[in-house]
Structure 1
Amino acid sequence: MPEVIFNGPDGRLEGRYHHGKSPSAPLALLLHPHPQHGGTMNNKVVYALYHAFVRRGFSTLRFNFRGVGRSQGKFDNGQGELSDAASALDWMQSFNPNASACWVGGFSFGAWIGMQLLMRRPEIDGFVSVAPPANVFDFSFLAPCPSSGLIVHGSADDLVPEPTVAKLATKLATQRNIRVKYQTIEGANHFFGTHLETLGEMVDTYLSDAIRVAAPEPVREPELAVALP
């Protein structure tokens, strides 16, 4: 997990990046929870997401929003953080011009930023949104949601009530041409605590299925009829 520093719109941004082995490895950008509530790229949920994508062969980046860790700048109520995420995606794309796909993942505040980025960057093929704060932030901009993805929430979340996220997932799932899968983890709170392994396995399974569905069928050579003497 080499440390990387790249230019953002308000100064340098600090990240951790894993480069996939394949020249056409898909990209994954992971976004952390609220900077003013202790959120960093080293958050355990973000870390679990990071490794789930790495295990699936993605070139994967997690980074600190402005004003967090060694990232320059100061908190900007989401607007600046969205610009930071766009710069992070630009940075990854510059090193991976032949990437086969592009995904965004986020936890809590990071899920809100990630879904906004999804609306602005048509090259994003899929998303993983963990505990999106549907009771705090407005997600009505997802009209329509342009890509399929996974939403995961804890049934015992005391910060973001599960029914508010279920309502969001149901609304997205009714849209045409995409598939939004909603899964809950029984007994998990907002930070997933002892359920991090379950979360990682859930994302692993989803990515495995999504990659298999997205992979093109192999081209088969037509069989030639040969007349036997």
Structure 2
Amino acid sequence: MLMRETPVVIAGPVGQIEALLLENKSLDNEQPRGIALICHPNPVQGGTMLNKVVSTLQRTARDAGLITLRFNYRGVGASEGSHDMGTGEVDDAQAAAKWLREKHPDLPMTLFGFSFGGFVAASLGGRLEAQGVQLKHLFMVAPAVMRLGEQDQLPQHGELTVIQPETDEVIDPQLVYDWSEKLQRPHELLKVAECGHFFHGKLTDLKDLILPRLSN
């Protein structure tokens, strides 16, 4: 399969957004199964679209036959603007999602978010659903659930999978467990034993958890 990502520039709410697109065109003309948008961790703490967990999520989606798009929030890399650390990054994700959906309007969308990106993807999912877009799946990996406020409504339809390392040193696992327990909508909580926030030595385990759930 032709698996090289292509740099693209997307018009964002405060300027250009730097992104990497993988069209996932196979040699046997097999059609892509969907589109995936991947949201990266906290930019203030060095998070970018090239983060190794984000890269693992991208490759996993690729291997499941999805077109992928990962991008840098405002103020990261070549993306214009400055950090907002809240709704601004969700606005950026919404612009990226709109761009991707306009290219492939008939394909179902899956969202991925790691750490701060888990908050971004969840909030974006709610926005998209309010606009009539039904997601196929939302994956929240070691998500910063403490950032979700009343204005951040999760999508109520489609599948939701939360993946939380049990020895996370950045996001308190108990916060995620408590949030999961209170969550009204159906979802799946997967705990990864002996695993820290950045999945050191556990990236293969992460892929093994996600890939079969994308292949359904």
Q: Give TM-score, length-normalised by structure 1.
A: 0.83
Aligned to 2:104: 96
Structure 2 counterpart of 1:62: 70
The answer to whether the aligner puts 1:130 opposite 2:130 as a matched pair is: no
Q: CA RMSD in A?
A: 1.7
- Would the alpha carbon gap of residues 24 and 204 (structure 1) be closer, same or farther in structure 2, given more than 3 Å must change? closer
The equivalent residue for 1:145 is: 156
SS in 2 for 1:125: strand
CA distance, structure 2, for counterparts of residue 143 and residue 57 of structure 1: 25
Which residue is 2:6 aligned to? Answer: 2
Percent identity of paired positions between Structure 1 and Structure 2: 31
Assess, with a 3 A threshold, how the Cα gap between structure 1 residues 144 and 19 changes in structure 2: closer, same or farther. closer
| 1:147-167 alpha-carbon deviations (Å, 9 max, x no partner) | 321110111012212121112
Quick check: which has more Rg, 1 or 2?
A: 1
Aligned amino acid, residue 46 of structure 2: G
Aligned-partner Cα distance in 1 for 2:154–2:111: 18
Identify the residue that residue 176 of structure 2 maps to in structure 1: 165
Give the residue type in structure 2 aligned to 1:161.
D
Between the aligned partners of 1:77 and 1:13, the Cα distance in structure 2 is 16
* Aligned residue runs from structure 1 range 25-64, under 5 A: 25-64=33-72
The one-letter code of the counterpart of 1:128 is F
Q: Secondary structure, in 3 states, of the residue corresponding to 2:197?
A: coil
Partner of 1:73: 81
Q: Secondary structure at the match of 1:67?
A: coil
- Aligned residue pairs: how many? 203
Secondary structure of the corresponding residue to residue 121 of structure 1: helix
Q: Contact between 2:41 and 2:115, CA under 8 Å: does it hold in 1?
A: yes
CA–CA distance in structure 2, aligned partners of residues 166 and 147 of structure 1? 21
Checking the alignment, whether the CA contact within 8 Å between 2:123 and 2:154 is kept in structure 1 is no
Residue pair 2:49, 2:72 contacting (<8 A) in 1 also: yes
